[in-house]
Structure 1
Amino acid sequence: MAKTTPAKRVIQELGGIYRFNRVSQKTAAARTGISASAISRRLNGDTSPTIDELFAMASAAGVNVRIEFLPAEAESVA
């Protein structure tokens, strides 16, 4: 089974927000300036959005993005 990457999980979450808020790809394109076909490719996981695109796509869906950098957990040595 293929491992779901953090980037894929973010896009899946954003796709869910689009569906929940009933934001079409056409509407998102008009709000972001990103073509509807490019948004489709991003949401389908065919290509990854840039950070700027991610923020724009989230804003089009009525949500904000917050990125946190947290200390890495130390690996335990057995």
Structure 2
Amino acid sequence: MTTHNYPQSLKSSDFDVSDRSEALSLISRFSCHFDPFLPYLAANYLDRFLSNLDIPLAEPWVVKLLAIPCFSLALKMREAE
């Protein structure tokens, strides 16, 4: 679960929310041929990581890179069900 102040911490930090939007866009593109629940699950994992880790702000590509393992994990979890 994300931290209780995750939305406020995104707004108050130097984190560029457009990086998260681009990562969600990537997840959406990856998911188009799979279960419709996958984007939700992958976005949930992405938000969990972002709320608990300090992302280097000088490296905006890190958030987009994080979308790949989040999608992969979501896919594996759906296959396990």
TM-score, L = length of structure 2: 0.28
Normalized per residue, the structure richer in helix is 2
TM-score, L = length of structure 1: 0.29
Relative contact order, higher structure (CA 8 A, sep 6+): 2
Q: Which has the larger radius of gyration?
A: 1
